[in-house]
Amino acid sequence: MGMKKREQQRPHRTRTQRKIGLAILGARPAFAENLHVGRPNIGNRKALFRRFDEMLRRRWFTNDGPLAREFESRIAQYTGVKHCVAVCNATVALEIAIRALELRGEVILPSYTFIATAHALQWQEITPVFADMDPGTHNVSPAHIERLITPRTTGIIGVHIWGRACATFAIERIAKKHKLKVLYDAAHAFGCSNHGRMIGGFGSCEVFSFHATKFMNSFEGGAIVTNDEALSKKLRLMRNFGFSGPDRVIHLGTNGKMTEVCAAMGLTSLESIEELIALNYRNYVEYQNGIEGMPGISLIRYDAREKGNYQYIVAEVDPDVAPLNRDELVAVLQAENVLARKYFWPCCHRMEPYRSFYPSARLLLPETERVAARILILPTGQAISSRVIRRICMIIREACHSASLVRMKLRAC
């Protein structure tokens, strides 16, 4: 695009928007402290400390304790799924689920996901086969999945990126046709729905993450949810070394147990879930208003007919239209102590060991390559106020307005 056109597309500064100095151009950073993406939310502290006290009094800290059991039954109830197996984190949960489903050979998954999804396969010497995304949803493309199926394929892992459900019906149709198993990485999707049904009940099982950076956290933690009773029993055994009772091991297993401290935090977070979602939604709308009208910059949309958790503020920066590209905006924001992130860049196929295994994978993943270079994640959650969001949006607007200066400065650096 020509320089003149770019200049015309500069965002207009209205009379009420005063000019602000930019740290990248030498002004003082807008924020004295770092603003993180993924700053943990904290529920009712009194309730949390009460749970810690009870736990200390009981001297029962892990191994299927009462808090972990209560957490499991609350998660099952909340998602409307019959069985929940709480696990120490979602990565181990994925590893256990993959093994319990007896996946082998090749498993198809998106490259546009957190590295844990791929590692959980490779860790067990299963070949992850990366499929391209649908750029409209950022989720894996079912059409591409079907093209990647070989006689060695045993399963598909769909990932509900940003809490927007992947094309479960299409994926499950393909799986049925080719006799494959389906597991969903729902690390982003706790509290979200798909066609009016809570995520958790799709595929053979689904895995949630309750990591500290997730809007609903248990410090570290995860859960596998399923409506399949036999599978839930197997998962439970595998999570605890295969013990079926004292001194009796009947299955191969690992240590994937959730501790009582984590369950206490999880239960307390769960009690605040509606508040946290409402807060995330308010933040999302505030960002939406602040970013509106900026050429080439938009927030991804969530389907208002579905339940969402709005835990990620995902901006897409079109480098052909926006005055600054994604990487330039990240540099501008970081100078102001806004630690915006580029999730999921580089995508899995560009990270080791996959990068060495499949040096030309990018040729098969054009949409993933294109979209991953445009995504910018902004801070949200309890740690961020409306005033802070307005300021972040003003910084972006001002940087776009002074794009040539900013670019010159960045080049000089």
Does 164 interact with ligand T4K (rule: CB under 6 A)?
Answer: no
| Site map (CB under 6 A) of ligand T4K, residues 117-136, x = contact | x-------------------
Name the residue nearer to ligand T4K (CB basis): 204 or 402: 204
Strand-strand pairing, 197-198 and 205-209: unpaired
Name the residue nearer to ligand T4K (CB basis): 225 or 400: 225
Q: What number of residues does the chain have?
A: 413
Does 218 interact with ligand T4K (rule: CB under 6 A)?
Answer: no
Does 375 interact with ligand T4K (rule: CB under 6 A)?
Answer: no
Give residues 72-101 in contact with ligand T4K (rule: CB under 6 A): 89-91
Give residues 33-72 in contact with ligand T4K (rule: CB under 6 A): 36-40
User: Nearest approach, Cβ of 244 to ligand T4K (angstroms)?
Assistant: 26
Name the residue nearer to ligand T4K (CB basis): 83 or 211: 211
Number of residues that bind ligand T4K (CB under 6 A): 23
User: Nearest approach, Cβ of 132 to ligand T4K (angstroms)?
Assistant: 17
Does 346 interact with ligand T4K (rule: CB under 6 A)?
Answer: no
CA 120/CA 392 separation, integer angstroms? 36
Residue-wise DSSP of 85-111: EEES-HHHHHHHHHHHTT--SEEEEES
Does 162 interact with ligand T4K (rule: CB under 6 A)?
Answer: no
CA 288/CA 279 separation, integer angstroms? 14
Strand-strand pairing, 181-185 and 205-209: parallel
Name the residue nearer to ligand T4K (CB basis): 264 or 400: 264
Name the residue nearer to ligand T4K (CB basis): 153 or 209: 209
∠ CA(188), CA(35), CA(12), 5° rounding?
95
Does 184 interact with ligand T4K (rule: CB under 6 A)?
Answer: no
If you ran DSSP here, which 8-state letter would residue 41 be given? P
Does 368 interact with ligand T4K (rule: CB under 6 A)?
Answer: no
Does 222 interact with ligand T4K (rule: CB under 6 A)?
Answer: yes
Does 168 interact with ligand T4K (rule: CB under 6 A)?
Answer: no
279: CB partners within 8 A, 6+ apart: 381, 382
Name the residue nearer to ligand T4K (CB basis): 258 or 273: 258
| Residue 132: both structure tokens together | 């391209």
User: Nearest approach, Cβ of 392 to ligand T4K (angstroms)?
Assistant: 15
Region near ligand T4K per CB under 6 A, out of 3-11, 166-174, 184-192, 250-258: 184-192
Give residues 276-315 in contact with ligand T4K (rule: CB under 6 A): none
Name the residue nearer to ligand T4K (CB basis): 203 or 296: 203
Integer CA distances (angstroms), 4 to 184, 311, 399, 402, 404, in order: 47, 38, 18, 14, 12
Residue selected from 146, 185, 260, 286 as contacting ligand T4K according to rule CB under 6 A: 185
349-356 long-range contacts, Cβ below 8 Å, gap at least 24?
A: 349/111, 349/130, 351/115, 353/122, 354/118, 354/122, 354/128, 354/130
Name the residue nearer to ligand T4K (CB basis): 79 or 402: 79
Helix (H) or strand (E) holding 19: none
Name the residue nearer to ligand T4K (CB basis): 67 or 339: 339
Residue nearest to ligand T4K (CB): 38
**Cβ–Cβ contacts within 10 Å for residue 48, how many?**
18
Name the residue nearer to ligand T4K (CB basis): 185 or 328: 185
Name the residue nearer to ligand T4K (CB basis): 40 or 295: 40
**Cβ–Cβ contacts within 10 Å for residue 278, how many?**
11
Q: Which of 181, 14, 26 is nearest to 108 (CA)?
A: 181
Count each helix (H run) and each strand (E run) in the chain, helices first: 15, 16
Residue selected from 99, 138, 164, 211 as contacting ligand T4K according to rule CB under 6 A: 211
Region near ligand T4K per CB under 6 A, out of 16-24, 67-75, 209-217, 281-289: 209-217
Q: Which of 143, 146, 147, 148 is nearest to 128 (CA)?
A: 148
50-58 long-range contacts, Cβ below 8 Å, gap at least 24?
A: 51/264, 51/267, 51/268, 52/261, 52/264, 55/260, 55/261, 55/264
Q: Which of 344, 350, 308 is nearest to 326 (CA)?
A: 344
312 phi-psi bin (left φ>0, alpha ψ -120 to 50, beta other):
beta
Q: What is the binding site for ligand T4K (CB under 6 A)?
A: 36-40, 89-91, 113-114, 116-117, 159, 185, 187-188, 209, 211-213, 222, 339, 343
